[in-house]
Amino acid sequence: MAMSSPASSEQHSAPLLPMGSVLLGLLTFSMMDVAMKSLSMDLGAYNAILWRVLASLVMVSVIFFARRPRMPSPAARKIHLQRGIIVVFMSYLFFWGLARVPLAEAIALSFIAPIIALYLAAVFLGEAIQRSAIWASLLGFIGVIVIAVGRAQGGYSEDSLLGIGAILLSALLYAGNLVIQRRQALLADPIEISFSQNLIVGTVFLLFAPYLAVVPDVTFVPLIGGAAILSIVSAVFIAWGYARAEAQNLINLEYSAFIWAAIFGWIFFSEPLTLTTVGGTILIVAGCILATRRDKPVAHVETTAV
């Protein structure tokens, strides 16, 4: 699509720049996960998401309206609504589970989404399922089992197993989100998508505000604001990188999120990194790499991009 544009030449002359941009974006995403895990533990997943999304909406609105945007087309409005509703449930399940599961385990389990997306694409987009996708799903499934068994053996906790279940359901929804995201990217630019998504998620969450919302103490304001800023900054860095290099050359960088999750989980929450988590992650990532070989459509694996 880029043909002979400057982005195209930049892609060949300086591949390290887009790689560095994506890595920096994934680092800031992981930092946001730390903030959101802390907020979810203190305020609950609902209030953590509500206040962060509202803060993000205010920030993105300034950029969105400063450009004097035109009304989105009916097709764009429809797909914004579809994806926004999915994100409502996806984000709540992920952060609810994140408050109950170590950060590294949560990120590892979320990596299963691209494999699930292959099957959803077959159902909704009519894409053929290749043999490599079947082997990939088997590897991913075994990896999830390894992590779950390790969690059950390492001090059984019904709450933590419920957290694993919530994250897997979130990954299932995120897989559907990936399928919709392909079409949405053709109908709207990143700022419109970010604005629409935050607007829809914020509106839905506000419907439950009379029953669930709690105004956080002023001490939480820096953490909420920081999470909102990190979510926007990370999206910009990743979008910049993917606009200047082929996705197939960047997709494997996404798995660096597990490294940051392991480091930050240990530093901020004293979460040990178990061998079963590492082993399960290797199986899941191997499955994802196998599934995305042969020029498959590539999708981000960040379930936290709300």
Q: Are 63 and 191 in contact (CB under 8 A)?
A: yes
- Give the per-residue pLDDT at 239: 74
Least confident of 61-65, 145-149, 164-168: 145-149
Least confident of 33-47, 84-98, 104-118: 104-118
Q: What is the pLDDT of residues 160-189, one digit of tens each?
A: 889 999 999 999 998 888 778 767 777 888
Longest dimension (CA), the chain: 57
pLDDT band at 192 (very low <50, low <70, confident <90, very high): confident
Range 186-193 average pLDDT: 83
Mean pLDDT, rounded, of the chain = 83
CA–CA separation, 140 vs 282, rounded Å?
9
* CA-CA-CA-CA torsion sign (16, 22, 28, 33): negative
Higher pLDDT, 210 or 303: 210
Least confident of 36-40, 92-96, 188-192: 188-192
pLDDT band at 70 (very low <50, low <70, confident <90, very high): confident
**Amino acid letter for position 173:** L
pLDDT band at 122 (very low <50, low <70, confident <90, very high): confident
Length, in residues, of the chain? 306
Q: What is the pLDDT of residues 8-22, one digit of tens each?
A: 444 444 478 888 888
Higher pLDDT, 239 or 208: 208
Q: Are 118 and 179 in contact (CB under 8 A)?
A: no
- 195 Cβ neighbours under 8 A, 6+ residues apart: 57, 60, 61, 64
Q: What is the pTM of this model?
A: 0.83
Residue corresponding to tokens 């109950």: 100
- Give the per-residue pLDDT at 36: 97
Higher pLDDT, 264 or 252: 264
DSSP helix/strand/coil, 262: helix
